[in-house]
Amino acid sequence: MSQLSIAHVPRPMRHFTPAQHWMNDPNGLFFDGELYHLYFQYNPHGVEHGNMSWGHATSSDLVNWSEHPVAILHDERHDIFSGSIVIDRHNSSGLGDGSTAPVIALYTAAARDGSNQAQALAYSLDGGYSFTKYAGNPVLDRNSADFRDPKVFHYSGPAGDYWVMVAVEAVERRVLFYRSENLLEWDELSGFGPQAACAGVWECPDLLELPVEDSAETKWVLVLSLNPGGVAGGSGTQYFIGDFDGTSFTPDHEQPARDHTDFATLAEGAWLDWGRDNYAGVSFHGLPRNRCTLIAWMSNWDYARQLPHERWRGSMTTARKVDLLRTDTGYAVRQRFVGLPAAAAAESYGAGTHELALQGPTLIDVQARDLGEEPVRARFFRADGSPLSELLLGAQQISHQRPSGRVDHELYPSTQHMPLPPSDGRLCAQLLLDAGSLEVLAAGGLRSLTDQLTGEETPARVLLTIPGGAQSDVACTPLPQHGSTATQELK
């Protein structure tokens, strides 16, 4: 595959990017009561994937990020693959110093020769800024080359109070559940899968207990990333809703394992996102259920290694708050953008084409009614007047057509399709535009579509075409232009 060389890759203002070098999956997200901590797969030596370590950034609002020195560095034997963090407030591990609750990282120690992946532990006594690798590593080893991505949380329920680890046997498409009293010794509880989409390996699991809106009910949601075989091609994330009794996860609907990659079959599943660039999303430890928040890597393994760069490569999605809604067809995950200002006043538009001028990152709310077969059409343009991409916002489906633009890779130009729940001719969508990306939430947050627009500035203008017979209310809200700040010296 060839790669287009460009002079400048604009850095997004509303999404985290590393000051330099390669970044992929988010790891070890936690909230310490004041700051949100984001760790991430990171190559401290260059802009290519490799030498996996944990980079580190913090934020008080999930929008403005400060980057810190590498938190957990690879060594000559192991790369530091994905994992999670918990605060061991009662010092169940015995790794605290008597005055500070240890911050415990569970991660995959991946043998650099590819022979084994086991779960290891590192601990921090300074709030998560520096870590010591546990002398007794690994803490869990199945003698498997594909056992990875531990997500740990504290379970408290009828079965007792203990730590639970959710991990995957990636190639077998199985989720494994483990129990521990001290984070050091783990006993296997049960397994789940293979079910639903199985055309690629399973990675980066998360198990969330989420509230159901307007009720005292909660349900458990198992989130699983899949590569390849996602609904939009390449990397994707599916989810299952059900119950967890402290030992086993039981989905509300059993599904056969399917290794198909055709859209019609995949669209029967439940997907966290219908775009090309939302992968490996996980939640923050330390937040209450009603504030459960996820961040994902905004890329796709189909082309991530070949994307144009300028000393840095990789970005995260906007943080999203998640909960559940009860719908006519069952429960569904709802996502809402975090960290947005109050919306601007909406303007009413009738049939015809209307121009919106943008001055940087922008949130566009589109509320349309009386839509027939024709969708609302949103065409995005660069400052020089050339077309960038196009959205078709229908009452039954949203589609995003992304040409190659500034990326020279055969798998990058694509059209994504996102079916919507029945709506009686109404459309409700939020479009979050930033340099290098478009994120769409629709149907009140029940649908999400995330696409990179790599190498691009935020669109300079939008032509919004309302079809005949329809009416639309549009609010165009400029977003404060923040960014990521490195506290380590660039080299």
User: 3-state SS of the chain?
Assistant: CCCCCCCCCCCCCCCCCCCCEEEEEEEEEEECCCCEEEEEEEECCCCCCCCCEEEEEEECCCCCEEEEEEEECCCCCEEEEEEEEEECCCCCCCCCCCCCCCEEEEEEEEECCCCCEEEEEEEECCCCCCCEECCCCCCEEEEECCEEEEEEEEEEECCEEEEEEEEEECCCCEEEEEEECCCCCCEEEEEECCCEECCCEEEEEEEEEEEECCCCCEEEEEEEEEECCCCCCCCEEEEEEEEECCCCEEECCCCCEECCCCHHHHCCCCECCCCCCCEEEEECECCCHHHCEEEEECCCCCCHHHCCCCCEECCECCCEEEEEEEECCEEEEEEEECCCCCCCCCEEECCEEEEEECCCCEEEEEEEECCCCCCEEEEEECCCCCEEEEEEECCCEEEEEECCCCCCCCCCCEEEEEECCCCCCCEEEEEEEECCEEEEEEHHHCEEEEEECCCCCCCCEEEEEECCCCEEEEEEEECCCCCEEECCCCC
Q: Are residues 327 and 463 in the same domain?
A: no
Q: Are residues 305 and 351 in the same domain?
A: no
**In which band, very low, low, confident or very high, does the pLDDT at 8 lie, cut at 50, 70 and 90?**
confident
Give the residue-averaged pLDDT of 13-29. 97
Task: Dump pLDDT digits (tens) for 249-293.
Answer: 999 999 999 999 999 999 999 999 999 999 999 999 999 999 999
Point out the domain boundary residue: 312, 337, 362: 337
Q: Are residues 412 and 269 in the same domain?
A: no
Q: Are residues 304 and 362 in the same domain?
A: no
Q: 25 catalytic, yes or no?
A: yes
Per-residue model confidence (pLDDT) at position 80: 98
- Total domains present in the chain: 2
CATH number at residue 281: 2.115.10.20
Q: Are residues 236 and 299 in the same domain?
A: yes
486 has pLDDT over 70 = no
Task: Dump pLDDT digits (tens) for 79-111.
Answer: 999 999 999 999 999 999 989 999 999 999 999
Q: Is 433 inside a domain boundary?
A: yes
Q: Are residues 270 and 362 in the same domain?
A: no
Return the percentage of the chain with pLDDT > 70, whole number.
Answer: 97
Q: Are residues 122 and 253 in the same domain?
A: yes
CATH number at residue 372: 2.60.120.560
359 has pLDDT over 60 = yes
Task: Dump pLDDT digits (tens) for 404-457.
Answer: 999 999 999 999 999 999 999 999 999 999 999 999 999 999 999 999 999 999
3 has pLDDT over 70 = no
Point out the domain boundary residue: 337, 367, 401: 337
Give the residue-averaged pLDDT of 178-194. 98
Catalytic one of 25, 206, 302, 451: 25
Q: 419: domain range?
A: 347-486
Give the residue-averaged pLDDT of 298-310. 96
Point out the domain boundary residue: 337, 360, 377: 337
Q: Are residues 330 and 279 in the same domain?
A: yes
Q: Are residues 277 and 197 in the same domain?
A: yes
Q: Are residues 432 and 292 in the same domain?
A: no
Considering the chain, what is the average pLDDT of its residues? 95
